Every structure is written in C-alpha cells, then in structure tokens.
Amino acid sequence: MSVVTLSTDRLTHLVRARLRAEHGFTLPELLISMILLGILGSIAAVAFIAANEQFRAADDEATGLSDTKVVVERLGRDIRAARGVDAGATASTLVLWVDYNSDYVRSATAQADEILTWALTSQGSGEGQFNTIRSTAGGDQVVQARTLVSDIAFCYQSDPASACFATPLSATDAENTRLITVSLEYDSKVGLGTESRSTSFSERIRNVS
C-alpha cells in the first residue's frame, strides 16, 4: 500500500510541475521583457547608425581623394608640358597649348589635339556637383573626375611672388604667364559622409616658347 501511495504522490507532483511549466508569463513579466527588448533594440539601432555613418564618411573620403589625385596628376602634367596659356582663359576655365610634336605651330584647327581645355560642367543633379572635363579643340572630351563640387579656380602668375593676372587673360598676360595655381573643392557625395574639402597646388610651365 505504501508503494502505491508513493506512486500516486509522485504522479501528482509531476502533474503540478507540468501545469506550472505551462503556466506561461505573467503580465508584469511580459512588460519587463518588452522593456528590456526595447532597450536592447535601441542600443543596437544606435550602434548600427553610428557604424553606417562612419562607413559612409570613410567611403566618401576615399572616393574623393582618389578622383582628386587623378585630376591633380593629369592636370599638373598638362601644365608642365605646356608651351603657353591661351588668351581668354578664365579663373574657372584653363586653356593650354601643349606642343606634342615640338613643331612650335599653334593651331586650333590644324593641330586641334594640342589645345587643351580644363573646366567643370554641371551634372544637372541640382546639388552643385560637377564633372571635371579635359577636352581638346577637336571636340574630344574625357571626364577626369565626377566628384568635384562647387569650385575649381585657376590663378595665372608670372612668378610665385606676383599677384594673379586679371581674367579673362589678355594676350599680354597670357604670354607672361609662367606659373599656374589650381585650387579645387571636392566632395564625392554631397550631403553624405564628410563635408567638402579643398586643396591647391602650383605648377610651372616648363616649355614656354
């Protein structure tokens, strides 16, 4: 008889334990769980947003520097190789004569590939973003960079100590130009990542005729 009683008691204990296990959460427990989940979710969201902003800033910086490096290297090479600057060049448009075949003949029609123009053209996005274009008098155009924003400026000087010539350049000032300083402002993604940055460099015309 005692064995049967023990078995019944054990069965009752198991049933009660099972019922407690299936009891579920009380309302206070559920509220506390929701509050904790909300706090953890907020922390995760803040961390994700911060990481995303850092990624965009790093990507913006890398893209801007990469394209700007291309412009600086190619434009600097053109200036160093030039024999002169065209009259009429402005603070935003640079026109160079690069005598590739060294025949000292300057002709926009007969040797159109020797007359180079550097300028910005609008992307038409309405965000103040421009393409940097290198073109020849023959009509060939190549986009050197798509991330320059708002400004590129050229200063024409006879030497580093002199002031910039007034633009558009007169024929006399164009003939006397020996040094060109380029200033540009760039930002690969307007309104995203980092703010726009600026840089400048100077190059001397080495092949003046």
**Which of 23-37, 110-124, 129-143 is the least confident region?**
23-37
**Domain coordinates in residue numbering, the chain:** 45-204
Residue 33 Ramachandran class (φ > 0 left, ψ -120 to 50 alpha, else beta): alpha
| 83 against 23, higher pLDDT | 83
pTM: 0.68
What token pair was written down for 25? 């959460």
Those residues whose C-beta lies under 8 Å from the C-beta of residue 208, and which sit 6 or more positions away, are 83, 84, 178
pLDDT at 114: 93
Most confident option among 8-17, 81-90, 184-193: 81-90
pLDDT tens digit string along 5-48? 446 666 566 656 655 555 566 777 788 888 888 888 888 888 88
**Average pLDDT of the segment spanning 167-183:** 94
Q: By percentage, how much of the chain surpasses pLDDT 70?
A: 77
CA 199 to chain centroid, in Å, comes to 13
